[in-house]
Each structure stands twice: as structure tokens, then as C-alpha cells.
Chains A and B, each alone.
Chain A
């Protein structure tokens, strides 16, 4: 899933400082799962904005809505009535969401309430880890089912580099696994170490900026 984190409330307050009516729009997709943009977080952020503005003696109206998804035009539609006389929309979907909102409402400012950080999964309860950089040419079959593009700090296709020590990457001060050690171990288990004897060549994905893909 796409993993995103909440922006600091102060940053969001700055974005909407001149607004009297704001729609906070969440998403029931990935950001609900990673606890950053679901209906619960819509409620929390909306309250935070109201309280801060009230404390500053500058009340505003905040409307709450959580879309089924924000990466699909038909699920943006229910915002039509809410957005009508709003001064801005704060989208707490991944960064795809605000762009769909912007596309539908040409005259309404849209601000992101989240920082989208990566494509990944749960490492433990409430902790998410990056597993994919959406490079468009998945080659994990060559690498024991693990992705060196997202999980090696240098995106090496011919690792591990000299910074691999006792299974850890030199980046992250010993907290991050060296994915190339994991790849090596996996291929050894699978009896496929010979895969690593020949150089892996250039990533040959679609040219940058042309990565539109048909469904």
C-alpha cells in the first residue's frame, strides 16, 4: 500500500490561515490502513484545526468527509456540494488524492495534509516499511524475491557494496538490514547463487515521464 504520514498541524494551519470554511477530505484506502488519512484521522485533524483557530480568536467552519477512494474521479464527486462555498480542501489522502480534487475543482485551492513517504507494508503494529519504488520494471525474480531498488540505499543491482557489515547497511547506523545480504542468503537457500555471478545491467524501465500504464 501507499504509506503516508501526517504533516505537522502547524504547517496545515499556515496553509489555511486565511480560510473561513475548509473541507477536510480523507480516504478509505491505504491511508486508512496506515492510520494517517481515514475517517478517524479526518475527525482528529478537523478538531485540531477548530481548536487552534478558536484559541486564536479566529473561528472557522470545518466540514469532514471521507471518500471511498481519492484516486478515482467517481469517488471525488460526493465532495461537490461540500466544496461549493469552501475556501479550501485539505486532502489527507496520499498525494494522488489532492491532485484528483484539484482536477475536479479548478477554482478551489487544495492543500495536502499528509506527506506520502513510500509504497510498503507493516513491519510491526503501527510501523511501516518501504518495499517498492514503483520503478515500472519489476525484477525481484532475479533477486530472490527481494527488491534492491527500494531496499538498498544505493539501489545497487550488483550489490552488496563495501558498506555491508554483519548483515546491516552502513546507512542507518546498524538499524537497517542490508538487502543484499538477504538476497544472498535467500539465493543460497534456493540453490540459485549462480544468478549473482553475471552482472545485472541497466534498469530498462519506461523512460521517465512516460510511465502511464494501461489498466
Chain B
């Protein structure tokens, strides 16, 4: 795989290291200090940090601005972009604008349905889906062409990523859908948070069998559980996400003030287990509103310090 954008993340992969990305969600307002405060825990830990785009369809300050804030702090962003809120004009425009600001990693998503967010009456756009967005970004970068065929004046150098959810249905199709995204242009994949290690192992076996791990860097998504309550919530309310009873029993088995530590222990074990799997190229650590615990997780998992690449 030749270098396409030259982002730190891309270089870490290309040098053969296991990469680590973290995540930082912008606030529901213009409080940039709060965002900077959360992000500063991630500096030096993630090879790049994902900036979510109005996740769960809740209005937050935009991922383009948040990506720029990270860059000013010396943190490399992975800008997330969903197709829910903009048509192909807006999306292509933002990709070009992001590239102009020096953003080099882009994660293309369809996005959560607006009915789950804080503006359920919003008109959905969905002019494109994630696969189509991947293809259009790849085409602007490699072919210099917009969807319309118009030539771009300056190709956007983007390292392009996508998401995969190995836990939704139909299971046997999940890896084929990931293959579609790779065919459309995805160079790296970040998975939905993994709790069901058995199902994830099967998913990775299928990905290996299809040769996908040779063509794309697959990062295992890990979200540490803060408490039994969070584990139960994930199990009950996040569609297609199963949290095995084993983890819930472990969290229940310790006093309430030790649950967070147990959750982190579980996450570290999961990270280590994933890194042992054939075809896993890195970890995507989503410590949701728990950025301050990222350093200890990374250190305990042997993912710190990060490799220096040029």
C-alpha cells in the first residue's frame, strides 16, 4: 500500500506498528475549553484522535472545527463525517475544506438516525451512504474528480477510513459489507465497540479468509465499561451490541467504587487479546466521556509510548 496522505496514523501503519486511535467528542455548545481539556489527556497517547460528527444525532460543535482545534494543540485528528446531515454538495465541500486546513484522516460514516437525537423532527438527508462517501473521497483524491465528474482544483490528500459493526445482523453479511467499504476506498476500519470476543474472533477469521486484512488496516474498537449500569445499558439499549454476562458478573463481583478499575482491567485484557489476533492492525479506544483514564489504559496495555515515525 503506497502512502496517500502521509498522516501520522498512516505512517504508523505503514511502518508496521500496531496503531492506536482515541476519540474525543465535541461539546453541546461552543465551550472549546472543555473540549481542549478532554483532548489534552489524549495527547501523546493516540497516534490520532477521532473527532465525532454530531454523534447519536445530537447537535455538537462541528467535527471540522474540532479537528482544527486538535491540530492547534499538536494532536492529529481523524475527522468523522456522516452523510445524515449534508447532501453531496455539502459533503464534498467539507472534504475539500478539511484538506485545505491540513486534515489528513477522514472517517466516512452514514451516522445515527436523527430520531435518536435531540432534533428528531430534522429532515434526513442521506443523499449518499457511507460506502458512496468513501468512493467519492477516494475519487477526488486519486482521480481528481468530483461525483459530477468535475475536476477538482487540488486533490484532497486524505487517509480514508470507515466503520464496521461485526455485531449487527445478518452476521454472515457483516464482513461482506466491510469488503464493500474497502472496495469503495476504505484504507482503515474502526470497529464498533467489541464485548463479544467470540463473535469478533469469527468475524476476523472471515476477514482474513477473504484477504481483507491484507488490503486494509483493521482496528478493534474498545470502550471501557465504567460500571455495571453502563454494561447493562449497552446490552439493553444499543441495538446489535451484546455484552456477555461474564463481564457483567465480573463488574458485579467487586464493590461499587472498584467497578471502574475492573472495567479498565477488562478493557486492557480485551486490547491484549485483540492485538494477538491475526489481521488486527491497531486499537480504536473509545473512552466515552472518560478521556482522563486513557493514559492508564494505554500504559497498562503496553501501548505507550507511541512509535515515532517520519
Q: A residues within 8 Å of B by Cβ?
A: 153-167, 170-171, 178, 181, 184, 196-203
**Pair B168/A197 contact, Cβ less than 8 Å:** no
> Chain A contacts of B135 at CB under 8 A?
199, 201
**Residues in B neighbouring A178, C-beta threshold 8 A:** 169
**Known contacts A161-B110, A164-B168, A199-B184, A154 near B176 by CB under 8 Å:** no
For the complex, is B130 an interface residue (Cβ under 8 Å from A)? yes
Say yes or no: is B256 at the interface (Cβ < 8 Å to chain A).
Answer: no
Contact: A154 with B132, CB < 8 Å?
A: no
Most chain A Cβ neighbours within 10 Å, of B110, B130, B181: B110
Binds A, one of B121-129, B227-235, B293-301: B121-129
In the complex the two chains form, what is the Cα distance from A92 to B123 in whole Å? Answer: 26
Q: How far is the CA of A210 from the CA of B62 in the complex (A)?
A: 33
Closest A residue, CB atoms, query B185: A199
Minimal Cβ-Cβ distance residue in A for B83: A154
As a 0/1 sequence over residues 86 to 130 of chain B, the CB contacts with chain A under 8 angstroms (1 = contact) are 001000000000000000000000111101100000001011111
Q: Please name the residue on chain B nearest to A160 by beta carbon.
A: B168
User: With contacts defined as CB atoms under 8 Å apart, how many contacts are there between chain A and chain B in the complex?
Assistant: 97
Report if A160-B124 is in contact (Cβ < 8 Å); known contacts: A165-B240, A198-B183, A199-B184: no
Supposing A162-B165, A164-B240, A181-B170 touch, asked if A199 and B132 sit within 8 A by C-beta, the answer is yes
Q: Are A156 and B110 in contact (CB under 8 A)?
A: yes
Q: Name which residue of chain B comes closest to A148, CB basis.
A: B129
Q: How far is the CB of B212 from chain A (nearest CB, A)?
A: 12
Asked whether B180 lies within 8 Å of A197 as measured between CB atoms, the reply is yes
Task: Identify 21 residue pairs between A and B in the complex whose beta-carbon atoms are under 8 Å apart, listed by A's number.
Answer: A153-B115, A154-B110, A155-B124, A156-B129, A157-B131, A157-B132, A158-B177, A159-B129, A164-B168, A164-B169, A164-B240, A165-B168, A165-B169, A178-B169, A197-B179, A198-B180, A199-B135, A199-B184, A202-B128, A202-B136, A203-B127
B113–A158 CB distance below 8 A: no
Residues of B with Cβ closer than 8 Å to A? 84, 88, 110-113, 115-116, 124, 126-132, 135-136, 147, 163, 165, 167-170, 173, 176-177, 179-181, 183-184, 192, 239-240
Q: How far is the CB of A207 from chain B (nearest CB, A)?
A: 10
Give the docked Cα–Cα distance between A170 and B115 (Å). Answer: 10
Of the residues A154, A157, A184, contact of B84 by C-beta under 8 Å? A154
Inside 8 A of B180's CB, which chain A residues have their CB?
A: 158, 196-199
Is A202's CB under 8 angstroms from B179's CB?
no
11 further contact pairs, Cβ within 8 A, besides A154-B110, A196-B176, A202-B88: A153-B124, A154-B124, A154-B129, A156-B126, A157-B132, A158-B177, A159-B129, A162-B239, A165-B239, A170-B113, A170-B240
B87's nearest neighbour on chain A, judged by CB, is A208
Instruction: Write out the residue numbers on chain A whose beta carbons fall within 8 Å of the beta carbon of B110.
Output: 154, 156, 161
Q: Give the one of B116, B131, B147, B239 with max A CB within 10 A.
A: B239
